[in-house]
Amino acid sequence: MAEFTVVIGNKNYSSWSMRGWLMARIAGIEFDEIVVPLDRPETQAAIRKHSPSGRVPVLLHRGLAVWDSLAIAEYLNDLKPEAGLWPPSAAARAHARSISAEMHSSFTDLRDNMPMNIRASLPGKGMTPGVRADIERLTFLWRDCRKRFAGAFQKDDGFLFGTFGAADAMFAPVVTRFKTYSVTLDSDADAYCTAVLGHPAVKEWVDAAEHEPWLIDKYEFK
């Protein structure tokens, strides 16, 4: 049994679970995984066995429950500062935390109209003026980070701050949405999405999502 446990929802649909799970992968910890299928009569009770908030993800460690993806990132950064969840410079860390917080609190049009569904192919579905505005803001953030910070570090693998970190984990579910809904992107944003989808931890999550048995009809646009 591993020292850590990550409690998540369906990998195909749960964007917040993806973020918390990726934080654990970036930190390099060994962890057990508990998947609670969402949108079922027993879901809430099953989650509350582990999560005081009644939401996923939650990280369990030595009797401590840490819920919310950003809190998980900060806790793991405290335990494993060498893992590089946040960039090494103070300015880059501040910016990474700012855009991660914006991802956490914003982009409701995108969330509501283009829910995460990794298995699906839904080109053109969900596009509204509000979604388009969210996409423009998101892609600006990506371009701005790449321009201002990525080249400042020794290693640049195509991610926001050179190497894959907490900020990239926060935006990874958006990248899967853009693939599901065939969103047309500029070349810089498209290159960033390619880098994210090619990261081993993201590929591991996506592969598991594609093989899950559960369906949630309201996200299938049938």
Statement: residue 152 has pLDDT above 90: no
How confident is the model over 2-57, as pLDDT tens digits? 999 999 999 999 999 999 999 999 999 999 999 999 999 999 999 999 999 999 99
How confident is the model over 70-116, as pLDDT tens digits? 999 999 999 999 999 999 999 999 999 999 999 999 999 999 999 99
Q: How many domains does the chain have?
A: 2
CA distances from 64 to 30, 85, 179 (A): 16, 20, 36
Which of 31, 66, 82 is a domain's end point? 82
Q: Name the residue range of residue 197's domain.
A: 86-207
Q: Which of 6, 35, 56 has the alpha carbon at shortest distance from 208?
A: 35
CA distance 193 to 132: 17
199/91 same-domain check = yes
191/131 same-domain check = yes
Q: Are 58 and 50 in contact (CB under 8 A)?
A: yes
Residue 187 lies in a domain: yes
pTM: 0.96
Which of 82, 100, 123 is a domain's end point? 82
User: Domain holding 74: CATH number?
Assistant: 3.40.30.10
Residue 222 lies in a domain: no
Assign 211 to helix, strand or coil. Answer: coil
CA distance 172 to 214: 21
User: Domain holding 135: CATH number?
Assistant: 1.20.1050.10
For residue 139, the one-letter residue type is: T
48/153 same-domain check = no
Residue 217 lies in a domain: no
Residue 61 lies in a domain: yes
